[in-house]
């Protein structure tokens, strides 16, 4: 990479981890200063994040090539295997920095910046052969990589972070979002079945792989990883799977086992998040054990970044005003809880809730 690139935004996860562990303000300061510099660059580049900023801070360097750099907006190399040119910018990886800045500040300006970029890219749509086409790449000859659908990179993340109706419209076709809106009731079953099928498929691929160590790229095995937790993250945590681009977990809820002093749901306890909005979450918790009660600590956010203001269960509302609370489940019992929440209002931390320490 020459100069600065949006790929470097993944590095903000390092100070975020340090901040979550220590709470030291210097790590938050580093993230905010760096991300605000990128927001300024976007503002000066028609709302679009540049992929090349030279060492003097000039967008695009002397030639103004803001789209340059490996994996930048104009990165369309020839695949040596197929001999065909492929459009391979890696804009989605920049989302990590925006997410990390939101974690430490709760400021929606980082979400707004990405939303504005989606709108800015799509504003360059044009009619080609009688059909409206949207760009996905940019190079020395301008926009290219035309496609029939609007450029939608990061649309799901923007909705998840903002919970605004306008952002919801961009994610209407996502099956998980449809489920949360009450339009896809079979999603829990189909999502878990898909993950189970993925495990079987990838294990079969591992067992049938005949390549030797010196024939594999370093990241080849990432496509054979049999661990499949996406459905569980969405259904139990109301979360966004972090993927493999260097970001951390986004979750509406997280659970802890006070009896075993560990993270995760207690033995025999199941959870299902069925609805989320800006200010409320509906989750069903059940204890499948026939004889023993269970206690579970419910936390707002993966890192206690959301405050749970109150819990409504069986028609009764209980005030919480804390990032977490403890629930006792009788044997063979469960309940649907409606949580009133204030998102991104608390200082995030990796420390366990007090009830689990």
What H or E segment, with its residue span, contains residue 249?
none
Backbone angles phi, psi at 22, to 5 degrees: -100, -30
Residue 115 confidence (pLDDT): 98
CA angle 67–96–38, rounded 5-degree value: 50
Residue 153 confidence (pLDDT): 97
CB atoms within 10 A of CB 273: 22
Q: What crossing angle do the helices spanning 155-162 and 95-105 adopt, rounded to 10°?
A: 10
Could you tell me which CATH number the domain at 250-356 has? 2.60.40.1180
Residue 220 confidence (pLDDT): 78
CB atoms within 10 A of CB 89: 22
What is the spatial distance between Cα 353 and Cα 320, in angstroms, rounded to a whole number?
14
Cβ atoms of 55 and 3 within 8 Å: the answer is yes
What is the spatial distance between Cα 144 and Cα 248, in angstroms, rounded to a whole number?
32
Question: Is this structure's pTM higher than 0.85?
Answer: yes
Residue 221 confidence (pLDDT): 80
List Cβ neighbours of 210 (8 Å cut-off, separation of 6 or more).
none
Instruction: For residue 75, give both structure tokens.
Output: 């990165």
CB atoms within 10 A of CB 111: 24
CB atoms within 10 A of CB 74: 21
Across the chain, which has 357 residues, the per-10-residue mean pLDDT values are: 91 98 98 98 98 95 94 93 91 97 98 98 97 98 97 98 96 94 96 96 93 82 89 97 93 98 98 98 98 98 98 96 98 97 98 95
What is the spatial distance between Cα 180 and Cα 235, in angstroms, rounded to a whole number?
10
């Amino acid at each position: 990479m020459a100069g600065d690139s949006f790929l470097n935004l993944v590095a903000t996860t390092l100070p975020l981890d340090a901040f979550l562990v220590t709470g030291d303000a210097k790590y938050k300061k580093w993230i905010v200063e760096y991300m605000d510099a990128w927001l300024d660059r976007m503002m000066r580049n028609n709302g679009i994040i540049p992929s090349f900023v030279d060492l003097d801070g000039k967008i695009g360097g002397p030639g103004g090539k803001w789209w340059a750099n490996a994996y930048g907006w104009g990165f369309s190399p020839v695949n040596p295997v197929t001999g065909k040119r492929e459009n391979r910018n890696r804009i989605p990886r920049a989302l990590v920095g925006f997410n990390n800045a939101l974690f430490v500040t709760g400021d929606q300006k980082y979400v707004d910046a990405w939303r504005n970029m989606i709108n800015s890219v799509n504003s360059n749509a044009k009619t080609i052969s009688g059909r409206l086409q949207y760009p996905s790449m940019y190079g020395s000859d301008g926009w290219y990589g035309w496609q029939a659908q609007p450029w939608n990179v990061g649309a799901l993340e923007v909705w998840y972070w903002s919970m605004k109706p306008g952002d919801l419209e961009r994610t209407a076709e996502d099956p998980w979002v449809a489920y949360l809106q009450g339009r896809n009731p079979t999603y829990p079953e189909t999502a878990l079945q898909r993950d189970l099928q993925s495990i079987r498929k990838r294990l079969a691929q591992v067992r049938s792989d005949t390549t030797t160590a010196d024939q594999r790229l370093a990241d080849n095995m990432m496509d054979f990883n049999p661990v499949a937790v996406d459905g569980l993250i969405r259904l139990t945590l109301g979360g966004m799977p972090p993927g493999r681009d260097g970001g951390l977990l986004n979750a509406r809820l997280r659970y802890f086992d006070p009896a075993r002093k560990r993270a995760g749901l207690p033995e025999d306890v199941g959870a299902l998040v069925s609805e989320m909005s800006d200010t409320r979450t509906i989750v069903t918790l059940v204890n499948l054990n026939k004889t023993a009660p269970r206690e579970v600590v419910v936390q707002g956010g993966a890192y206690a970044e959301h405050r749970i203001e109150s819990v409504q269960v069986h028609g009764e509302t209980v005030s919480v005003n804390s990032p977490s609370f403890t629930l006792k489940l009788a044997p063979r019992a469960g309940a649907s809880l409606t949580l009133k929440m204030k998102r991104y209002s608390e200082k995030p931390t990796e420390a366990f809730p007090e009830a689990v320490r």
